[in-house]
């Protein structure tokens, strides 16, 4: 039985045990990542669902899974955007048919992923809200639609999690398909998937087929390219594919959580290729834009929610657009359960969980490890008296995060990180506190690192 079949069977049972709204809210975009030696790892779309599934549904999920496969003893949840090839379409679609109660908030558009292009039709320019935070990226993307392969090649979009990179690069693909009436072959792929294709083709001795199939493409879109870091063989294959397409004036579109120069262990020749095209960033949306996005989502769902409530959400959920949507969906879901227009008190109560979701305590070692991984330095260099230039900044970040997240004393932090004096730690924390206020990139780096810490 494949993981997918296993998960579908389990979902079928879970669905019978909880409300429709909860089922949709919490189990959409989940899947089994791994199932080995009694440990099933469930991929979830964000930290919030992870927390929720862990705390509220752990038992139920385990029971459902064990009913299908007795060997499973334990569950683990891992934040991982749903790969397009592993969506859970059947049980959810079946469920919509035997619908009871209020109509579903959203048809499962995201599940109608095109098998050939891997594109999800829900990502369009029409539902992509533009503000100063993503204006440049959006304009560049539009220019690429107008002149694929010629306007900006490659187009490199970067920004923190949940800010719209995937949405935007897929919108380009969808629009090109529509505009050129399928005359252009578009392919969207995550870099993890790309990597596993390379590895699989190598293993099966089918590298030529792999190369050939990529050379047919007119528009190649690769998401989260930072994951190619450190994967030499994949980078090599990507480099050849890239050059081939580039020389034929085929369009390449890439996304990443940081700019090319910040991707450690990215081969120089790739970096300079990326920098040779158009690089545009997406930063965080301001209040006004957050409100506009909420209004757009509500309209899409053909629902009515008062401005007061939307304002409240937009003011309180600031981190990224994915969370903003998540908060809105929670309000809608809870509203469906009670069928009363939500008032501000209830909204506040529901969002309290989202905004002030109790932080799980972590160990300072997890923070050090996450920082080391993120900046691609050795943990031992952070912990020891290493004076290499490249560890100075990561070490300061680790100091700052341990202070912020765990409120440890300055001497404690100094002792754990290179045997530094407490004044050094104080200085680092003060410096970064000021820097965070004005530095968007730093804010995003911190978000990414914290995600790593809390997803461990």
Among 42, 161, 371, 413, binds ligand ADP (CB under 6 A): 161
Minimal distance in Å, beta carbon 197 to ligand ADP? 20
Please give the Cα distance from 401 to 391 (Å, whole number).
15
Cβ neighbours of residue 349 under 8 Å, at least 6 residues apart?
A: none
Among 148, 164, 260, 394, contact with ligand ADP (rule: CB under 6 A): 164
Residues touching Mg ion: how many (CB under 5 A)? 2
What are phi and psi for residue 277, nearest 5 degrees?
-105, -140
Residue 322 interface partner, choices Mg ion, ligand ADP, none, CB cut-off 5-8 Å depending on type = ligand ADP
Report the nearest approach of ligand ADP to the CB of residue 308 (Å): 21
Question: Is 321 an interacting residue with respect to ligand ADP (CB under 6 A)?
Answer: yes
What is the C-alpha separation between 409 and 403, in angstroms, rounded?
A: 7
Q: Which is nearer to ligand ADP, 274 or 410 (CB)?
A: 274
Long-range contact list for 289-293, CB < 8 A, 24+ apart? 289/129, 289/131, 289/133, 290/314, 290/317, 290/318, 290/321, 290/324, 292/129, 292/131, 293/129, 293/321, 293/324, 293/325
Residue of 61, 119, 140, 163 interacting with ligand ADP (CB under 6 A): 163
b/e map 330-363, b = 16+ CB within 10 Å: bbbbbbbeeeeebeeebbeebbeebeeeeeeebe
- 319 is a contact residue toward ligand ADP (CB under 6 A): no
Per CB under 5 A, which of residues 149..168 are in contact with Mg ion?
Answer: 165-166
Please choose which of Mg ion, ligand ADP, none residue 163 contacts, taking the beta carbon within 5 to 8 angstroms, the exact cut-off set by kind.
Answer: ligand ADP
- What SS3 class is residue 412? helix
Is residue 48 at the binding interface for ligand ADP, with CB under 6 A as the rule?
no
Residues in 112-131 that interact with ligand ADP by CB under 6 A = 127-129
Helix (H) or strand (E) holding 310: helix 307-316
The reply on whether position 65 binds ligand ADP by CB under 6 A is: no
| Residue 47 binds ligand ADP, judged by CB under 6 A | no
Cβ-proximal residue to ligand ADP, closest one: 164
- Residue nearer to Mg ion on the CB measure, 165 or 395: 165
**Is residue 134 part of the contact set for ligand ADP (CB under 6 A)?**
yes
In angstroms, rounded to a whole number, what is the distance separating the alpha carbons of residues 319 and 446? Answer: 12
Residues near Mg ion (CB under 5 A) are 165-166
Q: What residue ranges bind ligand ADP (CB under 6 A)?
A: 127-129, 134, 159, 161-167, 293, 321-322, 325
């Amino acid at each position: 039985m494949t993981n997918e079949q296993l998960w579908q069977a389990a979902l079928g049972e879970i669905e019978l045990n909880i409300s429709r709204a909860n089922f949709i809210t919490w189990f959409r975009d989940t899947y089994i990542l791994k199932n080995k030696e009694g440990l099933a790892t469930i991929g979830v779309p964000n930290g919030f669902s992870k927390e929720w599934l862990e705390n509220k549904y752990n038992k139920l999920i385990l029971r459902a899974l064990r009913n299908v496969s007795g060997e499973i003893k334990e569950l683990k949840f891992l934040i991982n955007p749903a790969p397009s090839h592993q969506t859970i379409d059947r049980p959810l679609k079946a469920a919509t048919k035997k619908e009871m109660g209020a109509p579903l908030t959203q048809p499962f558009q995201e599940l109608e992923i095109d098998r050939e292009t891997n594109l999800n039709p829900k990502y369009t320019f029409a539902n992509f809200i533009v503000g100063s935070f993503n204006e440049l990226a959006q304009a560049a993307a539009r220019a690429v639609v107008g002149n694929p392969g010629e306007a900006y090649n490659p187009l490199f979009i970067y920004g923190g999690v949940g800010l719209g990179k995937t949405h935007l690069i897929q919108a380009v693909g969808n629009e090109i398909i529509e505009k050129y009436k399928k005359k252009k072959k578009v392919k969207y792929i995550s870099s993890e998937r790309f990597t596993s294709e390379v590895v699989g083709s190598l293993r099966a001795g089918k590298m030529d087929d792999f190369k050939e199939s990529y050379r047919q493409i007119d528009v190649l879109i690769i998401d989260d390219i930072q994951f190619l870091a450190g994967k030499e063989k994949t980078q090599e294959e990507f480099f050849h594919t890239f050059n081939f397409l580039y020389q034929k004036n085929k369009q390449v579109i890439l996304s990443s959580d940081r700019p090319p120069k910040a991707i450690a262990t990215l081969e120089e020749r790739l970096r300079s290729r990326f920098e040779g095209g158009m690089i545009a960033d997406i930063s965080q949306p301001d209040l006004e834009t957050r409100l506009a996005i909420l209004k757009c989502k509500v309209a899409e769902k053909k629902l009515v929610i008062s401005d007061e409530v939307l304002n409240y959400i937009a003011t309180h959920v600031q981190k990224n657009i994915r969370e903003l949507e998540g908060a809105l969906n929670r309000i809608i879901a809870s509203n469906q359960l009670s069928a009363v227009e939500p008032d501000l008190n209830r909204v506040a109560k529901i969002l309290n969980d989202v905004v002030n979701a109790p932080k799980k305590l972590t160990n300072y070692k997890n923070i050090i490890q996450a920082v080391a991984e993120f900046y691609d330095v050795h943990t031992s260099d952070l912990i020891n008296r290493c004076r290499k230039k490249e560890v100075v900044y990561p070490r300061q970040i680790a100091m700052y995060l341990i202070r912020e997240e765990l409120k440890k004393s300055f001497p404690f932090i100094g002792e754990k990180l290179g045997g530094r004096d407490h004044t050094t730690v104080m200085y680092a924390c003060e410096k970064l506190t000021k820097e965070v206020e004005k530095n968007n990139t730093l804010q995003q780096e911190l978000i990414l690192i914290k995600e790593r810490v809390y997803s461990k």
